[in-house]
Amino acid sequence: MLDDVKNKLRKGFDPNYTDYLGNVEDESSAIQRAIDTWSEAIYECAKAVVPVSTTATLAQTAFESAAEGMNLDGSVFSAAVAAFASTLGTGMAGYTTVPPSSSFIPTSLNESNEDMCKDFSDQLIAWFQTGTATLIAPPNTVSNWS
């Protein structure tokens, strides 16, 4: 999963990547590229989350809707990622879910775009794994999203 998520990020953010989508010409295009790229990467994570969610596509839409006013603003981005996780949790049938509670704020000190995308994907996966799911039937097992 790590490589799949990293490659989704590289597609939008790494000019040295074979499948790079190309440079953008203006701020509006840059914002849309960021939304689309993060949406694809976050959705890639969601496809692998256990317990399985039936609302991954709705979660992706929730992220995109919340991120529309982002203007590359970190707080709006964090809220959009939280909307994704919250919507994802509602589709985990048979479980009471608690999405990750901390804000997701990707950081990297790497100068290489590829390494930056790897850092972001590592952080995104680790963040998702802080969500919990409690089985609603005995033995009411609590587990982290994985």
Q: Is the pTM of this model over 0.75?
A: yes
In b/e form, how buried is each residue of 98-129, taking b as 16+ CB within 10 angstroms? bbbeeebebeeeeeebbebbbbbbeebbebbe
Q: Given this model, what pLDDT does residue 72 score?
A: 63
Helix (H, G, I), strand (E, B) or coil at 114: helix
At 13-41, the pLDDT tens digits run: 999 999 999 999 998 888 889 999 999 99
User: Residue 82's domain spans which residues?
Assistant: 2-144
Distance CA 40, CA 35 (A): 9
Kindly report whether the peptide bond that precedes residue 138 is cis, defined as omega within 30 degrees of 0.
no
Cα four-point dihedral sign 114, 74, 40, 103: positive
Distance CA 139, CA 119 (A): 37
- pLDDT means over runs of 10, the chain (146 residues): 89 94 89 92 93 96 88 80 96 96 92 95 95 96 95
Count of the separate structural domains present in the chain: 1
Distance CA 134, CA 25 (A): 47
